[in-house]
Structure 1
Amino acid sequence: MKIEVIVPGCARCKKTAQNVESALEQLDAIDATVEKVEGQMEIIDRGAMHTSAVAVDGELQTEGEIPDVDRLVEVFRSA
């Protein structure tokens, strides 16, 4: 599974990245790679209209919010 944390670098975005890492720690058996997408053009290319956003295998799962760890665990399990 490829997880993209789509963030321009703001404080909200840093919290989203931390929550992604915490969720993955809870799911230690999941094989996942995490990539931060920070460039403006890359963010636009991913289709994210609002940051912070999280995509799994190229599909946006959250956008314009700081998803909590429990929600991310659910998203990653179902992917």
Structure 2
Amino acid sequence: MEIKILGSGCKKCVALGDNTQAALKAAGREATIEKVTDIIAIAGYGVMSTPALVIDGKVVSTGKVLSPKEVGFLLPAA
């Protein structure tokens, strides 16, 4: 599984990254997490508000910090 956190590196982006790691740990799952800060790359996903969460190439959330529980619901089945 490949996860990307899209954003400028702001406090909310860091929080989304932390919550994503917590969700993976709670689910007993592993994934590659990449932080994407390049505005051109972010726009390439069609994202207009950050932070955004991309799982396996699909944008699943934009413009908010999801809780670890919310991220857990978005993870694909093992």
Paired-residue identity, %: 28
Q: Mapping of 1:10-25 within 5 angstroms? A: 10-25=10-25
Specify every segment of 5 or more residues in structure 1 that has no aligned partner in the other structure, as ranges. Answer: none
Q: CA deviation at 1:12?
A: 1.0
Specify every segment of 5 or more residues in structure 2 that has no aligned partner in the other structure, as ranges. Answer: none
User: 3-state DSSP class of the match of 1:16?
Assistant: helix
Q: Mapping of 1:24-43 within 5 angstroms? A: 24-28=24-28, 30-43=29-42
Residue 4 (str. 1) matches residue 4 (str. 2): yes
Within 2, Cα distance between the matches of 1:78 and 1:37?
24
Deviation >4 Å, runs of 4+: none
Q: Which amino acid counterpart does residue 10 of structure 1 have in structure 2? A: C
TM-score normalised by length of structure 2? 0.90
TM-score normalised by length of structure 1? 0.89
Within 2, Cα distance between the matches of 1:8 and 1:65?
13
Within 2, Cα distance between the matches of 1:44 and 1:21?
24
* Aligned length, in residue pairs: 78
Cα gap change, 1:59/1:75 in structure 2, threshold over 3 Å: closer, same or farther?
same
